[in-house]
Amino acid sequence: MDNIRFVLVVTFGMLIFMLWQAWEQDYNPKPVVATISTPEVTKNKEDLPVTAQSTAQTESGIQNSVTPATSVTSTVKTIKIKTDVIALEIDLQGGTVTNLDLLNYPVQKSNNVVNNLRELVGMSPAEINSTPIRLFNSTPEKIFVAQSGLIADAGLATANHYTVFSNERDEYSLSADQDTLTVPLIWTDNQGFVISKVYTFKRGSYEIKLDQIVKNDSGKVWTGRQYSQLLKVEDTSSKGNMLTGGMRAYDGGVIYTEKNKYQKISFDDMAEETLNESSKGGWAAFIQHYFASAWIPPSQEENHFYTKELNDNRFVIGTYSPMVTVENNTTAQFSSQLFAGPKVQPLMEQVATGLELTVDYSVLTFIGKPIYWLLNQIHGVVGNWGVAIIGVTFCIKLLFFPLSQSSFRSMAKMRKIQPRLKELQERFADDRQRFNTEMMGLYKKEKVNPLGGCLPILIQIPVFMALYWVLSETVEFRQAPFMLWIQDLSIQDPFYILPIIMGITMKIQQGLNPPPIDPVQAKVMKMFPIVFTIFFLFFPAGLVLYWVINNTLSIIQQSYITKQIEKAG
């Protein structure tokens, strides 16, 4: 019994250490990535999607066929757009979406309680970076942009993401009396062929609708397709080591198809093999901790999904549509949607099928999803994520009540027969085999299950792990206040009060359990509240809050059961 319990506790301790390492990877400042040179986009069109038509274009000279009216330079102007939730720029070279800021999600949030205490002791308020999270970025070492365009048969005019468009205004802003904002871009070959790119933004939405309109008065039949893709530089500083690599938030590519559903395609996967897959509907995305960016083509179309590894550590993931023929003197319209925002699951469910799966709960998704649903339901009533965590703790405790009841009864019985076990140990100190025989006989006589106190704990570990992922991956907890000094449930307690309380409750709970007979094990066990407290100093406050409430409820339940068994004699 003692050996089994000791192994379980050590295993659990290692689990906590691994979680702490994973949290360090997610929340501690990352080292600065070495600056790379700016890609020379005007000389190499390697990031265009490869199709039979694009290959034919390359062979016939794509630079001349795409932009006969204007010359592409590296200093094309951008237009600025602002809604109530996002601010971004659109580069007129290709109509590429770049430098997108999430206005409601600052990099850091000020803690008024901490600042007030700092002022009381004569210190200035803590410096924070309150600028919005930048999702798309044009900085060379952090390149992440959303590109789109058209690919046509060889010899036909078209506009891809190297083509220079024109626009009448430099800035657009969603006014208080507007629900939608439209930004049109136009390109023409001055020979009767006109392509318009129209971006549509909605109030309160992270969806950007894109319509690419082909007007053909050229006297020829035009045949082509649309494509939409994300280009990103891999952040190599975020890669974990052998210990924590499997426990970090996923950062990489994802596609969703009708046949294979949700598929992760890491940067390493893209480097090893080029994706070549077709599906009706679906979407292609790059995801990261808390945020996602996805191109969503029309759900009724048969779309092709692809990836490419480019030079300078850049990667592309995207889709292109079926071929469309546009007769002379007619117009055709290609549509797609770009989602760029926080991974709020109820919101993403409305955008596209399966998009909510970008909230990655690892292999424990089947447990994490119900926990998140319950948290969301409770939050809808109480309006506080900290209170929601307390509510979920009660629910989980209720769910495991029969198991914990059995565990605590076993612990109480073990505690009751502890003096007799100690007596047996002293009597058979020189005969370990006889001691084990007598000990098992005592267990049988008193109807004590030596595994009864361990197995329920082991069963609950996956739930704890799933809750860790839910609290770590759910963007709603990011900068969510609880009460008093806890102004962000996703980061550590600024005063370490919750971890200390957790350590105290763990010590109290330990006192209710029978101590190991082995004195060495007993000394090691006494150290665990201290060790766990140190680990939890760096854990998200939301997770520590769960642990404090769970320990408190366990203490109440275990104290009651222990008293009942002691009264029974």
Residue of 406, 409, 438, 397 whose CA lies nearest to 514: 409
Domain boundary, last residue among 304, 330, 355? 355
pLDDT at residue number 400:
81
Residue 39 lies in a domain: no
Which pLDDT tens digit goes with each residue over 404-443? 777 767 777 776 777 777 777 777 777 778 877 877 777 7
Question: Which CATH number does the domain housing residue 195 bear?
Answer: 2.70.98.90
Cα 163 from chain centroid? 34
Q: H or E stretch including 505?
A: helix 497-512
Domain boundary among 355, 388, 407: 355
Comparing CA positions, the residue from 371, 369, 411, 413 lying closest to residue 393 is 371
List Cα–Cα distances, 351 to 208, 212, 258, 295, 522, in angstroms: 11, 20, 16, 11, 55
Three-state secondary structure string covering 374-411: HHHHHHHHHCCHHHHHHHHHHHHHHHCHHHHHHHHHHH
Q: Can you spell out the DSSP letters for 93-146? A: BTTEEEEEEEEEEESS---HHHHHHHHHTTPPPPP---SEEE-SB-SGGG-EEE
For residues 291 and 376, membership in a common domain is answered with no
- DSSP letter at 249 equals P
Residues in the chain: 569
Closest Cα partner for 224 from 187, 192, 195, 183? 195
- φ, ψ of residue 19 to 5 degrees: the values are -65, -40
Q: What are phi and psi of 499, to 5 degrees?
A: -60, -35
The whole-number pLDDT of residue 186 equals 95
Q: Are residues 324 and 389 in the same domain?
A: no
Residue 229 has, within 13 A of its CA and on its CB side, a CA count of 29
Task: Determine the Cα–Cα distance for residues 379 and 416; give it in Å rounded to an integer.
Answer: 43
Helix (H) or strand (E) holding 316: strand 314-320
How many CB atoms neighbour CB 368 within 10 A? Answer: 25
- Are residues 304 and 392 located together in one domain of the fold? no
Task: Quote the pLDDT of residue 11.
Answer: 52
Nearest to 500 by CA among 544, 467, 553, 552: 544
Domain identity same for 384 and 250: no
Residue with tokens 């390109």: 187
In a domain, 36, yes or no: no
More confidently predicted of 303 and 454: 303
CA distances from 182 to 92, 95, 200 (A): 15, 14, 5
Same domain, 467 and 328: no
Sort strands 78-82 and 171-173 into parallel, antiparallel or unpaired.
parallel
Q: Does 455 lie in the same domain as 396?
A: yes
Torsion of CA 243, 244, 250, 256, to 10 degrees: 40
Domain region containing 483: 367-567
The answer to the question of residue 45 being in a domain is no
Residues 482, 545: contact at Cβ < 8 Å? Answer: yes
Strand order in the sheet with 330-342: 180-188, 193-202, 207-216, 330-342, 291-296, 283-287, 252-257, 261-265
Structure tokens given for 492: 């550590």
- At 56, the pLDDT band (50, 70, 90 cuts) reads very low
The band of 514, judged by pLDDT with boundaries at 50, 70 and 90, is low
Say if 30 falls within a structural domain: no
Average model confidence (pLDDT) for the chain? Answer: 81
Are 371 and 333 in a shared domain? no
Q: Is the model's pLDDT at 507 over the cut of 70?
A: yes
pLDDT exceeds cutoff 60 at 9: no
Instruction: Render pLDDT for 539-563 as a digit per residue (tens, 0 to 9).
Output: 889 989 998 998 898 888 878 777 7
Strands in 218-270 per DSSP E: 222-233, 252-257, 261-265
Other CB atoms within 10 Å distance of the CB of residue 195: 25
What is the mean predicted confidence (pLDDT) over 10-24? 54
Tell me, yes or no, whether 260 and 406 share the same domain: no
Q: List CB contacts of 224: < 8 A, sequence separation 6 or more.
A: 53, 150, 151, 152, 153, 156, 158, 214, 323, 324, 326
Residue 437 falls inside a structural domain: yes
Domain membership flag for residue 350: yes
Per-residue pLDDT band at 457 (split at 50, 70, 90): low
For residue 543, CA distances in Å to 28, 303, 371 come to 17, 41, 13
Q: Give me the pLDDT at residue 298, please.
A: 93
Structural domain includes residue 111: no
Number of domains in the chain: 2
| Residue from 375, 402, 406 nearest 391 by CA | 375
Residues 389, 350 share a domain: no
Distance CA 80, CA 101 (A): 11
Among candidate residues 276, 250, 193, the one with its CA nearest the CA of residue 365: 250
Choose one of 355, 386, 404: the last residue of a domain: 355
Residues in contact with 302: Cβ distance below 8 Å, sequence separation at least 6, in sequence order: 278, 279, 280, 322
Mark whether 328 and 236 lie in a shared domain. yes
With 60 as the cut, is the pLDDT of residue 198 above it?
yes
The one-letter amino acid at 31: P
Over residues 77-134, the pLDDT tens digits come to 899 999 999 999 999 999 999 999 999 999 988 888 888 888 888 888 878 888 999 9
Query: Does some domain include residue 316?
Result: yes
- Judged against a pLDDT cut of 90, whether residue 535 lies above it is answered with no
Residue 386 has pLDDT above 50, yes or no: yes
Q: Would you state the pLDDT for residue 398?
A: 87
- Position 532 scores a pLDDT of 86
User: Is the confidence at residue 242, as pLDDT, over 60?
Assistant: no
Q: Are residues 475 and 556 in the same domain?
A: yes
- pTM of the full predicted structure? 0.79
186 and 267 housed in the same domain: yes
